[in-house]
A and B are shown apart, each in its own frame.
Chain A
């Protein structure tokens, strides 16, 4: 059972020390990614999804940020204890990353083929010519027509979808065990989104990699992930497999998220207005005491204002951080 776990993040605290005060961007994150599976990390902007991802890669800018506590176990080694040189060997090689903005994630002055070849030659110690040949092969794998011609092009000559394919080719070029995709389709239009997601799924199978998928789009999660962690203000509030989340979301925030998605098979409400979650995300500089979600929660009661609820296992494989269920 233990052997199929690829990455385990335990009690991760990443703080940012800013002029306005301390920001606990990741405040005790626990996630587990199994081999060959996709974990979705969902939440609003600024809830700490990307910080969690960057913490795993150890790419948090220091200062102002710092990983103050926690363990990140990848293949039984704690990434937080590795030397920078060893960490560099893991980045791009065993854990790779796909970024949100394909428009800005490629160096505008380098040919696409060379950028992929760079990743290959950094980790595989092959000759430049072999790296370039491999780069062309990768471009072909991600479905780019005329890969040899495209390898010689600059990023500005490609469309957004193409560039994201190049990014994926780069991320997969060293056969990583884990791919962290930070909102990989947010910047793309819907039809290209579907293509990119299908491509990621297909390549995941082919390479046997796991994916940590960061998004705020529950539709993407439904397509891709096997389990989901819902984040709110630096904490995980619900952690469950994707089927149960969509069938029966339990945390009021997850419920709110589900209700805010238009559904094909449901009658349009009279007023034709989608339900939303009232209020805004609390400022991370000034979090409310007790549950962080209480101010926006329509089910809040006394206990919510007093203490932050713990993350408890409400049923097998279903973790929840809410007093509503926690008291039982």
Chain B
């Protein structure tokens, strides 16, 4: 429940960033450079005099958009690949799952950097890269659940009716594994947000001056001793967002798994 409201709050803030933020996130003001948090600038200002609170608020747009979109993208290609691999169980299926194994060997960030180096920077490319690196997780999840569903009698019944494979996969298998996929979607959205922040921190994210939490933390690092608020507040924002999606994931799992409710 907490996770739900927290996420709702984040989404509302991101959606109405222009109204919520007290200042223009990119407006520079030399007279109030590096002011520490006070009543006028709650989160302080950076070396260009930009309001940190406004930048954190606007940064939420990038983080949430990238997190959610990349997960949707990863879910679609990942679970399709996993379902077909499990249903096929032949050479192609094996090939897909071994490729998944290889990709799962590396931390998500490494592969994402690899992709970004190949295709260049930008928000759409970031979504693509994170989506691709999250896809193997969905593939493995849907592979496992599909393996158990495909042995159910109603799948055999559907085959006995003469249904084609894509139809069986999409109409009979997908709805039955959707619950588990949705739970992991919200948990992995948190991961995607973290990956996005990491990439931004490393300078591989959406390029400045657009405010993202990751690149705000990064620019703050050099002034950590004299202006710690520059890194702390976006860092806290990342933490809150990750926490919120994790809580939602846990909540969803409790709702969807009747076994846990009894215990």
Q: Chain A interface (Cβ within 8 Å of chain B)?
A: 57, 59, 88-93, 96-97, 99-101, 104-110, 118-119, 122-123, 167, 170
Known: A99-B153, A104-B152, A104-B153. A109 touches B175 (CB 8 A): yes
Known: A104-B153, A105-B153. A89 touches B162 (CB 8 A): yes
Taking a contact as CB atoms closer than 8 A, the residue among A93, A99, A108, A118 that contacts B156 in the complex is A99
The answer to whether B164 and A88 touch across the interface, beta carbons within 8 angstroms, is yes
B161 / chain A contacts, CB cutoff of 8 Å: 91-92, 96, 118-119, 122, 170
B98 at the binding interface (Cβ < 8 Å): no
Taking a contact as CB atoms closer than 8 A, the residue among A59, A109, A118 that contacts B160 in the complex is A59
The answer to whether B162 and A107 touch across the interface, beta carbons within 8 angstroms, is no
A110 vs B157: C-alpha distance in the bound complex, in angstroms? 13
Given contacts A90-B162, A99-B160, A106-B157, 10 further A-B contacts (CB under 8 A): A59-B159, A89-B162, A91-B161, A92-B162, A97-B157, A99-B153, A105-B154, A118-B158, A118-B171, A167-B157
A100 vs B156: C-alpha distance in the bound complex, in angstroms? 12
B163 at the binding interface (Cβ < 8 Å): yes
B172 at the binding interface (Cβ < 8 Å): yes
A98 CB, min distance to chain B CBs, angstroms: 9
Q: Say whether chain B's binding surface is mostly helix, strand, loop, or mixed.
A: helix
B222 at the binding interface (Cβ < 8 Å): no
B175 CB, min distance to chain A CBs, angstroms: 4
The answer to whether B176 and A101 touch across the interface, beta carbons within 8 angstroms, is no
A90 vs B162: C-alpha distance in the bound complex, in angstroms? 7
Q: Chain B interface (Cβ within 8 Å of chain A)?
A: 152-154, 156-164, 171-172, 175-176
A59 vs B193: C-alpha distance in the bound complex, in angstroms? 45
B173's closest neighbor in chain A, by CB?
Answer: A107
B160 / chain A contacts, CB cutoff of 8 Å: 57, 59, 91-92, 96-97, 99
12 A-B pairs (CB sep. < 8 Å): A88-B163, A91-B161, A92-B161, A92-B163, A96-B161, A99-B157, A101-B153, A109-B175, A110-B172, A122-B161, A167-B157, A170-B157
A106 vs B157: C-alpha distance in the bound complex, in angstroms? 8
The answer to whether A109 and B176 touch across the interface, beta carbons within 8 angstroms, is yes
A93 / chain B contacts, CB cutoff of 8 Å: 162
A307 CB, min distance to chain B CBs, angstroms: 37
Taking a contact as CB atoms closer than 8 A, the residue among B157, B162, B164, B176 that contacts A105 in the complex is B157
A122 vs B158: C-alpha distance in the bound complex, in angstroms? 11
The answer to whether B176 and A91 touch across the interface, beta carbons within 8 angstroms, is no
B171 / chain A contacts, CB cutoff of 8 Å: 110, 118
A89 vs B158: C-alpha distance in the bound complex, in angstroms? 13
A59 / chain B contacts, CB cutoff of 8 Å: 156, 159-160
A108 vs B149: C-alpha distance in the bound complex, in angstroms? 12
A84 CB, min distance to chain B CBs, angstroms: 9
B159 CB, min distance to chain A CBs, angstroms: 6
Known: A107-B158, A109-B175. A118 touches B153 (CB 8 A): no
Known: A107-B172, A108-B176, A109-B175. A91 touches B159 (CB 8 A): yes
A180's closest neighbor in chain B, by CB?
Answer: B160
B163 / chain A contacts, CB cutoff of 8 Å: 88, 92, 118, 122
A277 vs B160: C-alpha distance in the bound complex, in angstroms? 35
B156 / chain A contacts, CB cutoff of 8 Å: 59, 99, 105
A53's closest neighbor in chain B, by CB?
Answer: B160
The answer to whether A88 and B153 touch across the interface, beta carbons within 8 angstroms, is no
A96 / chain B contacts, CB cutoff of 8 Å: 160-161
A125 vs B222: C-alpha distance in the bound complex, in angstroms? 68
A3 vs B197: C-alpha distance in the bound complex, in angstroms? 75
B42 CB, min distance to chain A CBs, angstroms: 49
The answer to whether B159 and A106 touch across the interface, beta carbons within 8 angstroms, is no
